[in-house]
Amino acid sequence: MRLVLIGPPGAGKGTQAAILSERLGVPHISTGDLFRDHVTRRTPLGMDAQRYLNTGELVPDHVTSGMVRERLARPDARNGFLLDGFPRTVPQARELTTMLAAVDTTLDAVLEFTAPEEVVVARLLKRGRPDDTEDVIRHRQNVYLRQTAPLMTHYSDILLTVHATGTVEDITARAMAQLSDVARGAA
């Protein structure tokens, strides 16, 4: 299964990514992990990314796409993967389509984790991180909505919505039910 997970900060996407990756037997590929790995190994892409990370700027698409392309080429991703944090924009989604077409494959589904803003704000406030003030959290939610609305339209034909409220187990069960429908449709 080849999946992309999207959802606002606080929707539990990272938690679900780890669980779904294990259940589906595919690698969880997080752009945050890729950035840290490349920076630590001091690869050319990592050195390029570090310049932007040091100033708080967004890492440009060509750097992020290069890291994702390299990671998807590894043997463990041949039979499937779960992307978390990429694509974030329509140009990145188009680049991903090009990457996958080069190896004659496509995405199976995009899982969108949704939760009311008050729920995700409360979850993030509970984390207790110094930068998790209510104003900052609400700003991140608005940025997410602006960035991903076009992405949801772009992927409308393979977009599956998972309501991310309730227990972790409830959310996982909803996601797995959506994915089993996709698997049945592909059979």
The one-letter amino acid code at 124 reads L
pLDDT value of residue 187: 55
Domain that holds residue 6: 2-175
Supply the pLDDT for residue 132. Answer: 84
CATH of the domain at 14: 3.40.50.300
Whether 107 contacts 2, CB under 8 Å = yes
Query: What pLDDT does residue 88 have?
Result: 87
Write down the pLDDT at residue 163. 97
181 in any annotated domain? no
- Quote the pLDDT of residue 186: 63
pLDDT at position 145:
87
Q: Would you say residue 30 lies in a domain?
A: yes
Let me know if residue 117 belongs to a domain.
yes
In a domain? residue 180: no
Determine the straight-line distance between the first and last CA of the chain, rounded to whole angstroms.
12
**Distance of alpha carbon 3 from alpha carbon 118, whole angstroms:** 27
The mean pLDDT of the chain is: 92
| Cβ–Cβ < 8 Å for 115, 11 | yes
**Residues across the chain:** 187
Banded pLDDT at 101 (limits 50, 70, 90):
very high
Q: What is the mean pLDDT of residues 114-143?
A: 90
55 CB-near residues (< 8 Å, 6+ apart): none
Whether the model pTM is above 0.75: yes
For the segment 37-81, what is each residue's pLDDT rounded down to a tens digit?
A: 999 999 999 999 999 888 877 789 999 999 999 999 999 999 999
> What is the count of structural domains for the chain?
1
Rounded Cα distance between 107 and 144, Å, is: 22
**Whether pLDDT at 166 is above 90:** yes
Q: Provide mean pLDDT across the span 15-24.
A: 96
Share of the chain above pLDDT 90, in %: 75
Residue, of 24 and 148, whose pLDDT is higher: 24
Q: Could you tell me if residue 186 is inside a domain?
A: no
Q: How far apart are CA 130 and CA 138, in angstroms?
A: 15
98 assigned to some structural domain: yes
Residue 53 lies in a domain: yes
pLDDT of 26 higher than 90: yes
